[in-house]
Amino acid sequence: MAVVFRSWRRTFGLVAMLLASIAMLAWIRTAAISDVIQVCVKSLYRRDQYDIHHIASFAGLVRWIRLTSVVRMRAFNMNTVPANEEWDDPYKHVPDVARWQWGGFDFGRGKPMEDSSMVVWSIPYWSIVWPFLLVSLLLLCGRQVRPQSEVASAETRDHCDRISRIKQGGQGAT
């Protein structure tokens, strides 16, 4: 087993492959099941408000929403529900929105009420899986470079073998 992790390239390649596999399993899981985690903590910026962090995995996306509000919720809540393609647009009832969308990515912020603010990040799973997969392939299948000391010792061994063959019978002078 120690031979497998001998080089740093192989070790990091296997770690990247493991992370790509985990992200791929989560991506496949979103086709059938949606997971939602909500955490409510005291706001770091405004002591009279709370930050509600809503992390959801659904329809091939990971979405994080931070809602800063005076309303307090349960400290931790986790739900797993059957997949539903019709997830509401988080900006549906938000009048003041700054938003950027492209290729499944969705970043934005808005002000749903006077005393609250909302930040939304949606990231597609493919943008997590592919970089890890490409890095692992590069590290595992890329050209292995031998250290200079190993190259020098191999050349010395070849030279010594040629000399011994010459001494034994004149063979190997090429």
| pLDDT tens-digit map of 72-130 | 777 888 888 887 756 667 777 777 777 888 888 989 888 877 777 888 899 999 999 99
Residue with tokens 């970043």: 107
Q: Where are the strands (E) in 15-167, listed by range?
A: 33-42, 50-58, 61-69, 76-82, 96-102, 105-111, 117-124
Where residue 15 falls among pLDDT bands split at 50, 70, 90?
very high
Bridge partner residues of 38 (DSSP): 54, 77
pLDDT band for 171, please (50, 70, 90 cuts).
low
Mean pLDDT of the chain: 80
Which range of 82-91, 132-141, 156-165 scores highest in mean pLDDT? It is 132-141
83 and 32 in contact (C-beta within 8 Å)?
yes
* Local confidence band at 51 (pLDDT 50, 70, 90 cut-offs): confident
Does pTM top 0.85 for this prediction? no
Q: What is the pLDDT of residue 3?
A: 61
How does residue 149 score in pLDDT terms, banded at 50, 70 and 90?
Answer: low
CA distance 62 to 34: 10
Residue-wise pLDDT for 28-50, tens only, equals 988 888 888 889 888 777 777 88
